[in-house]
Structure 1
Amino acid sequence: MKELTVAATLENLSAVQDFIERELEQNDCPMKAIMQISIAVEEIYVNIAHYAYNPSVGKATIRCEVGGEPVHVTIQFMDSGTPFDPLAKKDADTTLSADERGIGGLGILMVKKSMDQVDYAYESGKNILTIRKELNK
């Protein structure tokens, strides 16, 4: 698994996206999957940058692996910030208007809908969010 560790700041979003996109392109991933994964990566990383260590700054580690049968990409996001399981919150009700729905929840819902698997664990003082997308769909 390839790995990148950065300070969890918004300024490092492009480095994280470049890292993931480079891995996907080197493995001939379909453009549709690259776009879906890029959006999910942005959503997850921005949330880490905004909330994991607020108001201080800590590290975020992103791991990426492409392979397996069927061919899939697995990406892990790890931070040592405040424990937070984004999957524990009830999905946003998209049938309600924005005013009725309230703030939050749409981003992780989008990630869950666009990926084949999304898992969260808190292990050894780290938040670990793992997304997986099959590439032959």
Structure 2
Amino acid sequence: MNVTLNHAVLMVAAQAAELRRAAAWLHSEAGARAVPEEDIARLDMCLHEAMANILDHSGLAAPAQIALRLQVQAQARSAVLTIADGGAPYDPTQAATPERPRTLEDTLPGGLGVVMLRGHSDQLDYAYRDGQNCLSVTVRWRAA
């Protein structure tokens, strides 16, 4: 792990067992950089959704790596979590929002990852560069 004043980086294996380690890292690093707890929780939800989508749909398998980078700009009151993987290209910012089910019978499991990402972030950015999906999740908070 490489840590500097305003950012931290962690590499995790593309496997479900690494979700817990990634979440612990996020909570520790964001907390150390004075990100409010409720915004850490938002980032955590996005981290879990993004990693679950990578593990379920990207075609990656261990020993493939997922790179996590947290950048905090205290004066701007924002944090950006970037998740990079070498799986099949997929841009969640362009994904259609699924139609809300009208009845309980119409409800299907899954398919809400993009909705969760959009709902818990203030901004989503995506780029595919050098064979890597790079999803950046931004959260912002008000002055205390």
Give the TM bin, normalised by the shorter chain. Answer: 0.7 to 0.9
Name the CA distance, whole Å, in 1 between partners of 2:47 and 2:117.
Answer: 9
Cα RMSD for the two superposed structures: 1.9
Report the TM-score when normalising by structure 2. 0.83
Q: Counterpart in 1 of 2:4? A: none
Number of residue-to-residue matches in the alignment: 136
Residue 110 of structure 1, aligned match among 116, 126, 131: 116
Map 1:1-137 to 2 at 5 A: 1-54=7-60, 56-57=61-62, 58-97=64-103, 99-100=105-106, 102=108, 104-136=110-142
Greater shift after overlay, 27-36 or 1-10? 27-36
Name the CA distance, whole Å, in 2 between partners of 1:98 and 1:60.
Answer: 36
Name the CA distance, whole Å, in 2 between partners of 1:39 and 1:123.
Answer: 25
Name the CA distance, whole Å, in 2 between partners of 1:65 and 1:99.
Answer: 42
- SS of the equivalent of 1:105 reads coil
Distance change >3 Å, CA 35–CA 117, structure 1 → 2:
same
Q: Which amino acid aligns with 2:123?
A: Q
- CA positional deviation for 1:36: 1.6
- CA positional deviation for 1:69: 3.4
